[in-house]
Amino acid sequence: MRARNYAIPEVDKLQAKLIAGRIIPAIATTTAMATGLVCLELYKVIQDKPVEAYRNTFANLALPLFAMAEPIPPKAFEFNDLRWSLWDRWVLQGDLTVQQVLDWFKQRSLEAYSISCGQALIYNNIFPKHKERLGKRMSELVQTVAKMEIPASRSHFDVVVACEDEEGEDLDVPLVSIQFR
């Protein structure tokens, strides 16, 4: 049925087993290779090696191609006395309101103009209706606006904050985790 559906030449049951028999060892070989390479890199993490010691591996067993390259560190950003990369995460403590989150950024001379969670826009300063949300708790808005269920075992949620500096230039800031419990 599948062969007919995808316009593949039909074969008998024995031929299908022969084809599948070649695929399973290839999957096992590829999985073993990937797992081994990950374990080698894990040793470097445990030994706290610098980023130059790590390797990205591109492997294609069909060619055969096995190429290794040094990963590059993330782009670093600096603003006033702040320094971060996109690998970082800013953690805010407490069940904060939208206004408190905006104030946290304002204290660091950053103008936060938009806060989103998943696909939902929690706050944006260009929408007059969003001014009503300034006094509401972020945890409440994440559940009502973003329709995100937060399990009782979880004490945080992540939001994306869009910021600009004093000149109105956009800045890429890290993901923001709000520890509300």
Exposed/middle/buried for residue 33 (C-beta within 10 Å: 0-12, 13-18, 19+): middle
**pTM of the predicted model as reported, rounded to 2 decimal places:** 0.67
Q: According to the model, what pLDDT value does residue 63 have?
A: 86
Q: According to the model, what pLDDT value does residue 140 have?
A: 93
How is residue 131 annotated by DSSP?
A: G
Residue 88, amino acid: D
Q: According to the model, what pLDDT value does residue 97 have?
A: 94
Residues with pLDDT less than 50, the chain: none
Cα–Cα distance measured from residue 73 to residue 45, given in angstroms and rounded to the nearest whole number: 15
Exposed/middle/buried for residue 161 (C-beta within 10 Å: 0-12, 13-18, 19+): buried
Q: According to the model, what pLDDT value does residue 27 have?
A: 82
Cα–Cα distance measured from residue 12 to residue 177, given in angstroms and rounded to the nearest whole number: 56
Residue in the structure block whose two tokens are 């299908």: 16
Q: According to the model, what pLDDT value does residue 40 have?
A: 94
Q: Where are the beta strands (DSSP E) in the chain?
A: 56-60, 65-69, 76-79, 82-85, 89-93, 111-117, 120-124, 156-164, 170-171, 175-179
Spatial CA neighbour of 157 closest among 133, 181, 134: 181
82-85 and 89-93 as β-strands: parallel, antiparallel, unpaired? unpaired
Cα–Cα distance measured from residue 157 to residue 159, given in angstroms and rounded to the nearest whole number: 7
Per-residue pLDDT tens over the stretch 84-104: 998 899 999 999 999 999 999
Spatial CA neighbour of 142 closest among 123, 162, 129: 123
